[in-house]
Structure 1
Amino acid sequence: MRHSLPLAPQFYVTAPQPCPYLAGRMERKLFTSLQGDTAEQLNNALSKQGFRRSQNVLYRPSCADCAACLSARINVADFTASRGQRRTLRRNQHLERRATSPWATEDQYALFRRYLDSRHADGGMADMDVFEFAAMIEETPIRSRVVEYIDPDKGLAAAALTDVLDDGVSMVYSFYDPALEKNSLGTYLILDHIEIARNAGLPYVYLGYWVPGSPKMGYKCKFTGLELYHGGKWDRMRDPHDYDSTTHPLKSDPIAEQVANISLPDTRAP
């Protein structure tokens, strides 16, 4: 199935497959390719409308059964670290941050495999080989970085593939040493990206999707300044239970209506 706007880009819909977040549900995605001279502008514009990047594709959930997946970002100006988050920062202050071009290494893949085998052994990425991993890291048509976190004594402890947008940083995918569970490295990576955005004068850290009712997503609610893209706009997150209605099967708009409501950037030369 294909739906298109009068001008490029064209939007497509994936076939339904089991939802990784809510049991018994099926998911599908609305997506478009990210390529050419306007890739940066398109990524900036669609990220503000709840889309996420995977290699050279931008996608957004477009499920027939519900509209539970809500894009989440942290407003850096409104963020205040909790007592527990401050402890996490102190616990990991020995780590050295190193931002590099998006280039995959053997150390990254070894860490990625340990992370998947421990945390997501039954997930959709469980069978990813070294070549697919390299594609995930390196196939980016926009400004991206790999942010590595190095333990001076033990080597690579964590890494994040991060896109630089015109209004923030987007954490595309992150992974860390599962043996360091007590260090709360998942939380630490987000806290450090808040600092990265603040130092760069960028107002937001994009975290991907938050899903009401999914235990996998509960950690995102622990960050103050969290905003959700809901009803075509970004709003400060309210009580998580306020969003339970998004799981209702009648909450999804028709595909053609979703596409028609997407705002595209003006890519005409000045």
Structure 2
Amino acid sequence: MLNSPPGFEQEGSYALYLSQVHDCSYLPGREARNLFLDPNAKVTLNLYQQLIDRGFRRSGCYLYQPACPHCNDCVSLRIPTARFQASRSQRRIWKRNLPCYEVNPGPAEYRDEHYLLYQQYLTERHPDGAMVCNSPGQYTQFLTCDWAETHFIEFRKAGKLAAVAVTDLLPEGTSSVYTFFDPQLARESLGIFALLWQIDYSRRLGLKWVYPGFWIESCDKMSYKSRFRPFEAWTGQQWIDHNKLNQGGNGKDERI
């Protein structure tokens, strides 16, 4: 058991635990380990905000961050909504998709339509992943939590569900928990479009940040996040602007 991270504003202490070492789900041949908040801790949105501002992420009701013994390639990012500037390719995706999709934030509740799309996405995009055989209960447990303010943002094209962006609302921003989409529409760049929509949505709500999760430079499925600029990266001690990162290194504690 470890002490609470420094700088907590709330009273009381929070136990942190280290998981067992296990195979990394992102980088073959790597070992992974997580630091996670005591599952019995009483989590508030303010505590969630404090932890996400220290590089933590949510999976189900677990709040965790990587603490791998021999690797630090997973880097938490946050995007400042007021300063974000879409690239030329991102602007093309936005301009092309925005008139074609009806987007609606909805409650975080189980629907067969969502679950079937989730399974279709995993089977096509992550066929070797452990989540492919998830039951409806495991799917719900993975994406939702009773203390989080979660929206299932639906993207529909001609009335048909095309994507769902599971998004947490926090006091200072939104967190992209998980996004899944119809693999037959992969050429429409729905993952990028969904994150662009979350940035625009957060800006309209007056929120400062979008937390897109972990950037892993050497993992194709996770490296795209660094193309949303400017962004800030969590070094393990502080957030630093993207132009101060040595992106030829591992992304943590490396400065130009």
TM-score normalised by structure 1 residue count: 0.84
Task: Give distance in 2, aligned partners of 1:197 and 1:38.
Answer: 23
- List aligned pairs for 1:37-186, cutoff 5 A: 38-93=43-98, 94-153=100-159, 155-186=160-191
Alpha-carbon shift at residue 234 of structure 1 (Å): 0.9
- Return the letter of the residue paired with 2:217: P
Distance 1:185 1:242, change over 3 A: same
Alpha-carbon shift at residue 213 of structure 1 (Å): 2.0
Name the SS of the counterpart of 2:78 in structure 1. strand
Residue matched to 2:231: 226
Kindly indicate whether the alpha-carbon contact (under 8 Å) linking 2:85 and 2:229 is maintained by their aligned counterparts in 1: yes
Task: Give distance in 1, aligned partners of 2:84 and 2:216.
Answer: 21
Name the SS of the counterpart of 2:133 in structure 1. coil
Aligned length: 246
Give the 4+ runs in structure 1 shifted more than 6 A: none
Residue matched to 1:265: none
Alpha-carbon shift at residue 136 of structure 1 (Å): 2.6
Name the SS of the counterpart of 1:9 in structure 2. coil
Name the SS of the counterpart of 2:29 in structure 1. coil
Percent of aligned pairs with the same amino acid: 33
Whether 2:205 is the aligned partner of 1:206: answer no
Alpha-carbon shift at residue 35 of structure 1 (Å): 6.2
Alpha-carbon shift at residue 78 of structure 1 (Å): 1.9
- Return the letter of the residue paired with 1:63: C
Residue matched to 1:11: 16
Deviations 1:12-31 (A, max 9, x none): 11111111222321000000
- Return the letter of the residue paired with 1:3: L
- Return the letter of the residue paired with 1:232: Q
Kindly indicate whether the alpha-carbon contact (under 8 Å) linking 1:77 and 1:225 is maintained by their aligned counterparts in 2: no
Alpha-carbon shift at residue 37 of structure 1 (Å): 5.7
How large is the RMSD of aligned CA atoms in angstroms? 2.2
- Return the letter of the residue paired with 1:102: A
Alpha-carbon shift at residue 241 of structure 1 (Å): 2.8
> Where does the alignment leave 5 or more consecutive residues of structure 1 unmatched?
249-270
